[in-house]
Amino acid sequence: MIERHETRKVMVGDVAIGGGAAIPVQSMTTTKTHDIKATLKEVERLEEADCQIIRITVPDEKAAKALPEIKKHMTVPLVADIHFNYRMALEAVDAGADKIRINPGNIGGKARVKEVLEKVKGANLPIRIGVNAGSLERDLIKKYGFPTAEAMVESARRHINICKEHDFEEIIVSLKASDVNLMIDSYRLFAEEFDFPTHLGVTEAGPTKAGSIKSAVGLGTLLKEGIGDTIRVSLTDDPVEEVHCGYEILKSLGLATKGVTVVACPTCGRLEVDLFKIAGDMEERLKNVKTPMSIALMGCAVNGPGEAEHTDLGIAFGKGAGHLYYKGENIGKVSEDAAMGKLEELISDYEKEVSTKGDES
């Protein structure tokens, strides 16, 4: 059991962040916001993948005017992403955004800061202060020589203090960097000083394979230490892949139970079936299954039966066929060709069983 770092609870719509709440997975749309149809199509796909909070950029007036229609069709909280233009923050609040991502120190003079914070506070919304190693204040780069954890936390502290001056503390903070070590060190240092909830992310992590690994290392390290209240995996890919990767990170640490956890052997010379294809096909088919379950796909008789007995569903292959397991019990043999179809039947049976038990309780 991971002991979570104690933080304040901040509500984003009906989703709690911090205060010991479950860790929500976030993502961000990649469409032009003013293209309402395309944006809603991506929002719908993210919601189907169980993305719990969706961020949408609001860079200009066209985007701001599109927000009310987009928000009207969303079933999860909307975060308006604002940079520099304080008027966009004001319009996003009026459009029904559930959170504003903005750095108070980057939107102009004190009058503008006051106007934005009063508007957000009046609507009972939180903000996310987003510190990024790639856009630190010039004086901090001059002071520290290059982005450091101390510089990142000092930047966050500045923005937090601006909010506090206006009696505003509904704050979530991120300290993102593409360098995993810098990101880890920054969040650790921040957690020593503050109890504001944190949004974890390795920014600009890269293409799917490399980005997923970097994110797993960075986010996983901090989450294991109890640091982090919401996560976003940043990949150069379909944002739905970010959601899937985020859940895999949480599930690996026992911090989420959504969907399927696949246990599959790494394969060796004992393999008698095409487990690469079977595992790949099964993972793809199971992406949007939301019922918590574990499935073992094992390639031989050495570890196969033991792993299959300790998962909800499983198959331990031999030469061209395999033994099926349901909740630890061997329920019969199936050929390699029929294995996928039979497993899908068992998955459906398991989902119905879980659903029935849920209704009874």
Tens digits of per-residue pLDDT, 194-207?
A: 999 999 999 887 88
Sign of CA dihedral 180, 182, 185, 191: negative
Is pLDDT of 168 > 70? yes
Region 220-241 average pLDDT: 96
pLDDT of residue 289: 79
Identify the band that residue 343 occupies on the pLDDT scale cut at 50, 70 and 90.
confident
- Scan for tokens 């690996």, then name that residue: 252
| Helix orientation angle between 336-360 and 275-285, rounded to the nearest 10 degrees | 30
Q: Which of 176, 187, 231, 201 is nearest to 24 (CA)?
A: 231
Query: Who's near 159: CB < 8 A, 6+ residues apart?
Result: 103, 104, 105, 129, 131
pTM: predicted TM-score of the whole model, two decimal places: 0.87
Mean pLDDT for all residues in the chain: 90
User: What's the pLDDT at 308?
Assistant: 80
The runs of H, that is alpha helices, within the chain are: 36-48, 61-72, 86-94, 110-122, 138-144, 149-165, 180-193, 208-224, 239-252, 275-285, 304-309, 336-360
d(CA 147, CA 96): 35
Dump pLDDT digits (tens) for 37-69.
999 999 999 999 999 999 999 999 999 999 999
Confidence at residue 357, expressed as pLDDT on a 0 to 100 scale: 72
At 360, the pLDDT band (50, 70, 90 cuts) reads low
pLDDT of residue 359: 63
Poorest-pLDDT segment among 10-19, 167-176, 268-277, 335-344: 268-277
The pLDDT score that the predictor gives to residue 317 is 84
